[in-house]
Structure 1
Amino acid sequence: MIDRAVRILRTGDWNTHLFDQPTLVVYCVVVVAAVRYLAGAIAGQWTSLDLFQVGSVYGPTRIVAAALGILTVWLVYRLGEEIATRRVGLLAAAQLAVFPLHVSESHVARPDVPATALIVLTMWLGVRAAKAGTARAYGIAGVAAGCAAAAEYSGVAAIVAVAAMWLVRERRAPDRGRKAAALAAGAAAAFLVAMPFAVGDLPHFLDGVAGQLAAIARSPRDGAPWLHTRELSWLIAPWLLLAAVGAAVVTWRSRERGRWAPVLLMAAAYGYVVVTYPTGAARDALPIVPMLCLFAGAAAVELVRLSRRVPRWHTSWANRAAFLVVSLLVVAPLTLATVGSIRELRRPDTRTATAQWIKEAVPQGSRIVVETGGPTYLEDVPLRVIRTSALSDRPLGWYCEHADYLILSGPDTGSAAAYLNAGPTVFQITPTAQRAGPPIRVVKLHE
């Protein structure tokens, strides 16, 4: 992503020519890179773009990602307050602020956090549009939905949130058609502004989208639905149960179902995408986390409400104390899980060892292909990282043309033989009792 942004700065060509991911976040990184370049020029670090170092963009980009992570917490609070109560919003925001996946991804230069922020923003604006009941409000919500889709293709599911509110609130309104048109026009306009080459370079765009759809079409028959849940700490399991209870409660109650419709349908739509997308990367589930936090918050607040039936617990101070205790019980396991995940990162692992070798031995600007399950957080290295669920997704000739190194993760099966023999193995590591992770080989394609 960052290498594409720097390439735009150097060439002036805003067409990335690669549409495996949308371009909105790339264009935002271009702005960050331009500011960093000018700041470096003032400090005397360089005098031309040829001297501009790609690695210098990672720090500012990670700061922006962290800021967007904080913004997402605030948006979850506002969404919870809008569809339920202030307490639900506060508790949902507190959960998201300490959730392991959100914490780990909010300091990484990837599109997942921006896409999540835009999805939550879309739901919030959709709820507000339903309350305002104007075409203008629906148009604004549509713009947010279009931006979410231009940040991550799976963000298309965000339109479900606004469409749900339109269907619930406007299906009998005389001007429902005008509001639907405003919603659709806003989404389409925002998407095309953020991805102009979806039309200007239609063949490559269609190829990129087709590649993503082909991955989704590989279905969950290989156990993909469980790839995300098996990475969760045991501390998260009770929280997931609480979120499920909350979702069931708001679905069961007809008076709340309409208000919660965008969150319910968004969770269902995006959840379907996640469990059928065979990458196994936990970060793919990030946009669902805010919804689960809202469900868990609703369940916790419901428990506090039920506690008022206990004699002597119906006073205001007792109710506040009960809310505080329940909030701590909900947030504490998430905090402990986050601390545990941070400690886990310090353990020896074949993936971290490979990533360290890549940082030290692979020349800057090299093109590396990484399979799912291989080394992570390589986006912070000044390399062009091409991620794929499996090397077999493309023929060997494609890699020889577009890559310099192949990172193979997993056993040496017959299907991997052609790729292993494509060049010399320059790095190899296997798991041991003290070192977790998959066996990894690095093959150099060009001498």
Structure 2
Amino acid sequence: MCQRIGMPPISTIGFGRTDVSSPSRVPKPPARITVRIVTPRHRFSTMTEASPPARKPNARRWTQHGMLLVILLIAAALRIRGIGFGLPALHDPDEPLFMMTALDMLRSHSLNPAWFGHPGTITFYCLALISLAVGASGVATGQYADAHAFVSAVYADPGILFLPARLFFAACGVACVYLTWRLGRRIGGVRAGLLGAAFLAVNALHVDYSQVIRTDIQASLFMLLCAGATLSIAERGRLRDYLLAGLFVGLGCATKWPAAAFAVGPIAVAIWRIAHGHADARKLLLFVAAAPAALLLASPYLLLDYPTVIGNLASEARPTHPGATGHGLVANLAWYVGDPLRGTFGIAGIALAALGTILIGIRNRRAAVALAPGIGACVLLLAVQALRWERWLIPLLPFAAIAAGYAVAALAEMARSRTGRPLALLEPLAGLLLVLPMLQATQVRAVTRANDTRQLASAWLRANAPPQSTILVEHAALDLLSEPWKPLFPLGKAGCVDARAVLAGRIRYSDAETLRSGSPVVDLGNVDPARLASCRARFLVLSHIDRYANDRVTYAAQWRRYAALTRGAVLRHRIAPIAERLGGPEILIFETPPAPPPLSSAR
């Protein structure tokens, strides 16, 4: 062994004053013998079997795992806290879409989601399994008589099913934190990985969307797995890694279409390896075949029901959306950095993420080649979209967190090298300084989510609306169904429908989508003008009116519907969100004076 690493033969090594090469004298083995080997780049020592067992590496490993466990527990606590917000009312407009589709699949005993806008297939299948598990356990324990009773109970109280589903997505969010640690450790070491995981664990935007039933967090999970497989391709180029990358790209696309951007990574790495003399051409072809194969295996109805796919994609490709219309590549990039990213990472976090990105590009060529193409393609895809949503930034948050963690670790290492001191607590202290303001932003968003304008609107109605009143509500105020009123809800071609009767009939999402007619929002502004008379009510609870009032030129037709319906009505109450205290949209509550009784004809 000594000869292999460049040491002289063991017979010529002296211990103290005695030479072990002398056969006439065998010294008593000392209690501790240390051989120090100095190489140009490394210094290390080995001990004989008589030495005490090395405990520092094990202690360091347990410390690192303990810190990771603390980070994951914090991530889980932040995502579970307040996860039942709003229930039984539904504040996120897309949550009913996913749950109704999953229930439709179970009721029709079909694997066809019949909706492919995201496409969301993996999410629908997961929700169907969760629904099946919750329903089966309820029937088995006697809580529900049968499956029909369970579905009826869910329509009456969505929390029965929505809460377990939200907990599943919270678990996906925690898994993203864990994968961020793994990827960060591979790129920049344990400290960079722990810092990156900590930054993502407390990120307000990531916490928010880990608490709702949507595709964003789940798609981000597959993108992180794809990034890890792509880095393995850059490091080893194994066929297994190419196939895994194709699998994760396919599953990511079956969850949300933009995951396809990460397919650029394995392709770029393969070209880079081929240029450096590696025989990876066939492996690249297998990746190119594996990705669409995984997509179609996960979502076979993309082919079997392609007319629906085309219709859904055409409906999703909207040039405008109230409050979310983009303004071109540069303006969209500026908005993403200056609004959602700055609001959750802070200016210091953005600066560190930018610095870390540069340092990774300089210091870790393999990681840069593996990750930069996919991340760059994803950024470009977001920037060129006609619309812009803060949730579209979610897949990029783990990589921003890793870059920020890498920068902190690199700066701390520079400080140690300049001062010549260990400064073991430098990274934790620097990370804490960045985490605290991020945690404050998370706390603010949690408070505003728990205290919503729509809840105050329901409270005002309970105090002021007489029994038997007809009430039009634009949001999914299922908390009002038990009250003695007739609730109306706008539904496109159908006009305004009796919400209690529709839910009692357990409406299918496919029916709702047909009545919606591809409109971007289900609200009063998109009701068929010929059916506007069906929306007349004693009280109008309008939560979308400000979107159209702020842009009456672009949305002139929608604004005319609001103006026609509120003409002659009295504004009884206005509920506006309050920064750091009250969330939700601005809500206007109008009361329409009752029509005078008809005059009786004289006889």
- TM more than 0.5: yes
1:415 aligns with 2:562: no
Aligned partner of 1:282 in structure 2 is 390
Take 1:415 and 1:290, find their aligned partners in 2: how far apart are those partners?
41
Equivalent of residue 357 in structure 2, options 244, 247, 258: 247
Aligned partner of 1:220 in structure 2 is 327
Alignment of 1:227-266 (within 5 A): 227-228=335-336, 229-231=338-340, 232-233=342-343, 236-251=346-361, 253=362, 255-266=363-374
Contact 1:220–1:278 under 8 Å retained in 2? yes
Take 2:530 and 2:355, find their aligned partners in 1: how far apart are those partners?
47
Deviation at 1:16, TM superposition (A): 2.3
Aligned partner of 2:92 in structure 1 is none
Q: How many residues align?
A: 421
Aligned CA distance change for structure 1 residues 327 and 432 (closer, same or farther; 3 Å): closer
Aligned CA distance change for structure 1 residues 390 and 301 (closer, same or farther; 3 Å): same
Contact 1:81–1:87 under 8 Å retained in 2? yes
Contact 2:243–2:286 under 8 Å retained in 1? yes
2:419 is paired with a residue whose SS is coil
What TM-score comes out, normalization by structure 1 length? 0.81
Contact 2:249–2:291 under 8 Å retained in 1? yes
Report the RMSD for the aligned CA atoms in angstroms.
Answer: 3.8
1:358 aligns with 2:477: yes
| Higher mean C-alpha displacement, 193-202 vs 11-20 | 11-20
Aligned CA distance change for structure 1 residues 188 and 63 (closer, same or farther; 3 Å): same
Contact 1:88–1:298 under 8 Å retained in 2? yes
1:123 is paired with a residue whose SS is helix
Aligned partner of 1:85 in structure 2 is 189
Take 1:367 and 1:273, find their aligned partners in 2: how far apart are those partners?
33
Deviation per CA, 1:332-377, whole angstroms, max 9, x where unpaired?
222222122223334553698578871223699x8868xxxxxxxx
Query: Structure 2: where are the runs of 5+ without partners?
Result: 1-97, 458-472, 493-505, 536-540, 591-603
1:411 is paired with a residue whose SS is helix
Take 2:249 and 2:530, find their aligned partners in 1: how far apart are those partners?
34
Alignment of 1:392-411 (within 5 A): 408-409=544-545, 410-411=547-548
Aligned CA distance change for structure 1 residues 46 and 102 (closer, same or farther; 3 Å): same
1:31 aligns with 2:124: no
Aligned CA distance change for structure 1 residues 173 and 214 (closer, same or farther; 3 Å): farther
Deviation at 1:107, TM superposition (A): 2.1
Deviation at 1:150, TM superposition (A): 0.8
Aligned partner of 1:179 in structure 2 is 283
1:349 aligns with 2:453: yes
Deviation at 1:234, TM superposition (A): 7.9
Aligned CA distance change for structure 1 residues 99 and 8 (closer, same or farther; 3 Å): same
Alignment of 1:29-178 (within 5 A): 29-53=127-151, 54=154, 55=158, 56-173=160-277, 175-178=279-282
Contact 2:449–2:584 under 8 Å retained in 1? no
Aligned CA distance change for structure 1 residues 424 and 179 (closer, same or farther; 3 Å): farther
Aligned partner of 1:8 in structure 2 is 105
Take 2:384 and 2:393, find their aligned partners in 1: how far apart are those partners?
11
Contact 1:267–1:288 under 8 Å retained in 2? yes
Take 2:427 and 2:270, find their aligned partners in 1: how far apart are those partners?
33
Letter in 1 for 2:311: D
Aligned CA distance change for structure 1 residues 293 and 174 (closer, same or farther; 3 Å): closer
Take 1:154 and 1:57, find their aligned partners in 2: how far apart are those partners?
28
Take 1:173 and 1:207, find their aligned partners in 2: how far apart are those partners?
46
Query: Structure 1: where are the runs of 5+ without partners?
Result: 370-381
Decide which structure has the larger Cα Rg and report it.
Answer: 2
Take 2:520 and 2:416, find their aligned partners in 1: how far apart are those partners?
51
1:21 aligns with 2:158: no
Take 1:358 and 1:120, find their aligned partners in 2: how far apart are those partners?
36
Letter in 2 for 1:110: R
Higher share of residues assigned helix: 1
| Higher mean C-alpha displacement, 416-425 vs 163-172 | 416-425
Q: Percent identity?
A: 22
Deviation per CA, 1:276-314, whole angstroms, max 9, x where unpaired?
33544322211110010011011111111210233342x
Contact 1:136–1:182 under 8 Å retained in 2? no
Contact 1:105–1:283 under 8 Å retained in 2? yes
Take 1:169 and 1:85, find their aligned partners in 2: how far apart are those partners?
24
Take 1:250 and 1:94, find their aligned partners in 2: how far apart are those partners?
19
Take 2:345 and 2:480, find their aligned partners in 1: how far apart are those partners?
38
